[in-house]
Structure 1
Amino acid sequence: MIDRNFYLENLTAFDELIGSDRTTAEKVIYKVYCILQRDKIWLYNVAAPEELTDEDEDLLIDVENELALLDETYNFRFQEFHELVMENMANEQDSWTLDEDDEFGYDEWDLEDLDDEDDDEDDSEQKHFI
């Protein structure tokens, strides 16, 4: 669900802060930008058809247009921020080198060792209870 109040409250806070405290205003507007990206993914890729409303879609379009205008006015460079986030996510994903055969990163030797350990535990438990 999209929280209309979140956008209204934070855009209002931004308007009040931009003249007196640009650093805090930037934090607020980047938070709005990030939540907007999350909500767009939810709306277009995750939400079930019965969860979709025209009001939600209209709200996200309005917020996106408002952010584009603010970006032009204050040079927040949202596109550069988005590209940097995507690049960092790709780098992190590349660093997760998993073995092709096993999604958890264990190779066949590790799995054999784990099986042996399980067998040893099973044997000791059986001896204890006999």
Structure 2
Amino acid sequence: MSNQVEQALAELERQKAAIDEIQGDLHTAYSTVTAKNRAVAVTVDSRGTVTAIKFPTSAYRSMAGPELGELLVDTIGSARDEALARTVAAFESLLPAGLPMIDLLTGEADPERGPLPMDRLLAEVFRVAEPDDAPVPPPATGAR
């Protein structure tokens, strides 16, 4: 039993160190997307916060206001999507396989497509604490 606890604690420490490293990397990660017409470039941090908007050419000057506004919205959206994908990719190595992380983060998880495989996810989370060959104790019942 103490060996299992030690293994679980070691795994917890390993995962904590990995999370700390990923968070440090993401703290300095930025995504920059340039519009197809090169009129605007948008930079966002790993959380999707806009940190810079640049106009690499003078093309924006000849654009109508609504056209420029739409271009900004689209380019910001693309930069945020890229940042989100990079953030999810950074954490995927720590998550159970098959977890629809982007869907969960964006609110796109759709119960109509089927439930999340919670039993499989929980089994993965607790795999170190309870090896497959260890008997699973029955739930505790206590007198009230």
* TM-score exceeds 0.5: no
TM-score (structure 1 length as normaliser) = 0.24
* Structure with more relative contact order (C-alpha pairs < 8 Å, separation 6 or more): 2
**Larger helix share, 1 or 2:** 1
* Rg larger for: 1
**Larger strand share, 1 or 2:** 2
TM-score (structure 2 length as normaliser) = 0.22
